[in-house]
Structure 1
Amino acid sequence: MTTTFLSFIVIAVIIAISTLPDVVTSRSEEERIAHYHSLNHTWPPAEYIPNTPGWRKLFEHRLRQVEEIEDRTERFEGFAQAISAGVLQPNFTEYGFGLARAPESLMVDLRKGVHDGYQKEGGPRLESYINAITEPRPWFIDRPDLTTRVLDELQDYSEAWAGFPLTPVTAYGFRLYRNTSRLHVHVDKTATHVISFILHIDSSDDADPWPILIEDLNGVTHEVTLTSGDILFYESSKCFHGRPRPFNGTWYSSVFVHYYPTHGYKETFDEMGKVNRIPPHWADEPTSQYEIPLRMHGTTMEEPSCDNFWCNTKFSNKWSGPGEEGYVIEPGGNKRVLDIAKVNDCKDRNKKCREWSQWESKECEANASFMHVTCPRSCNICSISAPGSSTPVSSGGDGGDGGDGGISDEL
């Protein structure tokens, strides 16, 4: 294999798409490998994040799958995605996802916006091509007035779930998936899509329940069916997720919302970390085929030999909403209070707080008596209750019968 070909792979293996990460570098493969060794990396990885037995087992399996991918470009991308999620990206919550409920006052306007857009003359436009989604291409309804409301009005909910201040990035929607569509399993952009949520707005009357598949931080695969108004909080650049089962119905609409931690994340983020961690032998042809075959589509993946294009749909924990406003339902069937009051206590009291906190004079320290009272968020001196720190409230055993938390098994 030529150096030119290897350099080409490292430079341009990623197809940029609107919701998923890019990897771009101008270094040669020899320089990349030299940097790998300078960082004292070893293979296979000694540690995973988190290093729970289930998470470790899941990603040891996935990395073996990647090593057996025959196409070199797909193999490189498979390494980048699996290493980023399983080995490098920090986790910020105990489980990686949770189910909550949006205010009904907001949902009334969102449902009306979707139905108005669907029924208007000419109907909704086609969404731009995304290789994460199978044909037919989704419809798209442009309502920035409403998506901005979702981004702003539900930021407090996201911060209460995560346990720290967040910087908003985008609210993307309204996407309307169409009959037979599938969303390949993937993780999102590590630079910005850290704390995220999916808000299910509505679906056509003929739509079957369509679960989202997500892997929790113990390596357990879940399929969660959202009802209209349900929020699925998730660490979208950490937990692989998708909708590998084909959708059956005319349309299904959601909005996708992303934030990143305000303090400390951008300052330490390494865009090239996942490329630097790919082992030197990535280009070697596979010598065995023991694992379930994995196929990459850009930065997304599927298991084409399995039912529903993902083998763990056979063994997944299957549950559904509705969620309960004011609470987060966690994997395992418990729920905890979504403490918005803690978030309100941490808000800045002056619009210039962010600016003041960034002055070279270090106002948060030099003028602490004023800044700590007026600008607790920008000075990073207040603590939002972290996930798991509040007392969990039982949602009715293991969630199998619905209980108080609104969970019901889908058999």
Structure 2
Amino acid sequence: HVWGPLTTYFYNNADATGTSGALEEWLPDVDHVVVNYWEVRSWTIELPPYLRVLIHEGMQPPVARWSGVELEPTDLYGMRVYERGALLVPHVDRESTHALSAIINVGQQGMDQPWPLQIVGHDGLVHELTIEPGELIYYESAKCLHGRMRQPLRGERFVNVFVHYRPVGEPEWYKEAAGIDKSDDGKDHALGGEARGGDCEAQDASGTRPAHARDTAIRRPERHAEEALEATTGTRPGRDRDAT
């Protein structure tokens, strides 16, 4: 019940301006940026409260099944609209709110070629995931360094919604988890599953249930992972903690 209302709202507000659309800009004194807004505009189509609640409630069960953790909703930004030439600077997200996340591809127009997400997995390697409208990616956004820097967007428009959760009742879950013995538990650690289907009903693409989020989502990316992403993209990773 998420996909229909979401795409209907996008169809009716795809060219939103004024109160329903906002350009993304960063103040001069910030020490990071997420998109190359000074070269290509990036803007957000704001979502009404009822739709935010519907998306958060609708996505919570599949994200919880994927992670194996009982979750509570935290953040849900509007529809981010990327335009031709856009880049997403490699970053990790705010630990207190972005433990388990999903990216929903709402729509895209005039795509000359796919625009993959690069993400550093628990194996320290850079992986690429590509999704079409109606598909989504699960990922641990406070843990896994991620961005779209291999190439600028080669298309007219690329629209995503980002949905975020954390373990229920644990706003400082990352502090508790940091002390856990991270010896091999015999499970495949979560990287982020790619799901397909217009109803946005998600399944882990690997076919395996990931380890408990507290066992996998905590450590900041290691230096070798940053260097791997730099080698892949030619760009030194960013350090954003505020948004995806």
TM-score, normalised to structure 1, is: 0.41
Identity of counterpart residues, as a percentage?
A: 28
**2:136 is aligned with 1:231:** yes
**2:136 is aligned with 1:260:** no
Match of 2:159, SS state, is: strand
Correspondent of 2:11 among 115, 123, 148:
115
Aligned partner of 1:139 in structure 2 is 43
Q: What is the CA RMSD across the aligned residues, in angstroms?
A: 2.9
- Displacement of 1:123 after TM fit? 10
- Displacement of 1:150 after TM fit? 1.2
Distance 1:203 1:127, change over 3 A: same
Distance across 2 between alignment mates of 1:211 and 1:199? 13
Distance across 1 between alignment mates of 2:120 and 2:100? 15
Aligned partner of 1:269 in structure 2 is 175
Equivalent residues of 1:194, 1:261 under 8 A apart: yes
Equivalent residues of 1:199, 1:229 under 8 A apart: yes
Query: Which sections of structure 2, spanning at least 5 residues, go unmatched?
Result: 27-32, 179-192, 213-244
- Displacement of 1:265 after TM fit? 5.7
Distance across 1 between alignment mates of 2:60 and 2:167? 12
Aligned partner of 1:128 in structure 2 is 24
More relative contact order in 1 or in 2 (CA 8 Å, sep 6+)?
Answer: 2
**2:114 is aligned with 1:215:** no
Distance across 2 between alignment mates of 1:320 and 1:199? 10
What per-residue deviation string (whole Å, max 9, x for no partner) do you get for residues 88-113 of structure 1? xxxxxxxxxxxxxxxxx422321221
Distance across 2 between alignment mates of 1:328 and 1:215? 17
Distance 1:236 1:268, change over 3 A: closer
Match of 1:185, SS state, is: strand
**2:155 is aligned with 1:249:** yes
Aligned partner of 2:196 in structure 1 is 322
Distance across 1 between alignment mates of 2:19 and 2:174? 45
- Displacement of 1:137 after TM fit? 2.3
Distance across 2 between alignment mates of 1:134 and 1:214? 19
Match of 2:77, SS state, is: strand
Match of 1:152, SS state, is: helix
What per-residue deviation string (whole Å, max 9, x for no partner) do you get for residues 340-388 of structure 1? xxxxxxxxxxxxxxxxxxxxxxxxxxxxxxxxxxxxxxxxxxxxxx636
What per-residue deviation string (whole Å, max 9, x for no partner) do you get for residues 132-170 of structure 1? 100312122112332321111110111111111112101
Distance across 1 between alignment mates of 2:139 and 2:194? 15
Query: Which sections of structure 1, spanning at least 5 residues, go unmatched?
Result: 1-104, 274-318, 337-385, 390-411
Distance 1:165 1:119, change over 3 A: same
Distance 1:159 1:321, change over 3 A: closer
Equivalent residues of 1:125, 1:140 under 8 A apart: yes
Distance across 1 between alignment mates of 2:194 and 2:72? 29
Equivalent residues of 1:124, 1:139 under 8 A apart: no
- Displacement of 1:120 after TM fit? 5.4
**2:210 is aligned with 1:387:** yes
**2:71 is aligned with 1:161:** no
Distance across 1 between alignment mates of 2:173 and 2:114? 41
Distance across 1 between alignment mates of 2:130 and 2:103? 12
Distance 1:134 1:167, change over 3 A: same
Aligned partner of 2:2 in structure 1 is 106
